Amino acid sequence: MLENISPKNNQVTLVPLAASDREQFIKDNQEAFNYGAMEEFGMRDDHFEEDGQIISRETIERSIDGGEAYRILCDGQPAGGVVIKVDGTKGDLDLLFVSPKVHSKGIGYRAWCAVENLHPEVTVWETVTPYFEKRNIHFYVNRCGFHIVEFFNSHHPDPNDPDMQNSEPDEQFPEGMFRFEKRIGK
């Protein structure tokens, strides 16, 4: 069904994640993240958090439990998901994924616009992505208006990541992570 979606002629909506959809949400998120890594590294990928997964079940569950989780629907069909955290005027984008079956159809961009509309009080959004995720970097910078504001690596560890406090490279992404920021308004 999703494969037949035509570019930019569909309705994209956010629906709060239902408990009954949690398991599929996790699987869909892992599929989307694995796709990006396999696209970049092929079968030689060694960036897995757990048993063949770029993002672990534990990481996804912690994100869902600590934030607002939404299913991205395209013409009423699940097409991805998003998890955000909002604290006053600051927002953190924890997860955003779109099914690889419908990449490049504007669904992620319209989902992001829906997030911004959902929380007009947020004036600064932040997110991070691994250095190798060229699709993500293009999406956040060129489509959504984020700016790269920091590059976390062994010489500049993420102060919020306890694993990097000893100036050791991140085991999963030793080459680093980009931090993005989008300021709205002022």
The rounded mean pLDDT for the chain is: 83
What are 124's strand-pairing partners? 90, 183
Tokens of 148: 């790269």
Which amino acid is located at 138 in the chain?
A: H
- At residue 162, the pLDDT reads 55
- At residue 35, the pLDDT reads 75
Can you list the domains of the chain with their CATH numbers? 10-183 (3.40.630.30)
Task: Kindly tell me if the per-residue pLDDT of 46 is higher than 50.
Answer: no
Long-range CB pairs of 150-154 (<8 Å, 24+ gap) are 150/178, 150/179, 151/176, 151/177, 151/178, 151/179, 152/128, 152/176, 152/177, 152/178, 152/179, 153/177
DSSP three-state, residue 105? coil
**CA–CA separation, 26 vs 144, rounded Å?**
24
Cβ distance 123 to 183 under 8 Å? yes
**CA–CA separation, 70 vs 51, rounded Å?**
26
Which amino acid is located at 72 in the chain?
A: I
Which amino acid is located at 133 in the chain?
A: E
- At residue 129, the pLDDT reads 87
Helices (DSSP H) in the chain: which residue ranges? 22-41, 57-66, 107-118, 134-138
The mean per-residue pLDDT over the stretch 60-70 comes to: 96
Task: Give 44's pLDDT tier (boundaries 50, 70, 90).
Answer: very low
Task: Kindly tell me if the per-residue pLDDT of 134 is higher than 50.
Answer: yes
Q: In this predicted structure, which of 95-99, 133-137, 143-147, 167-171 has the lowest mean pLDDT?
A: 167-171
Tokens of 114: 């829906």
Maximum distance among all alpha carbons in the chain?
A: 49
- At residue 34, the pLDDT reads 80
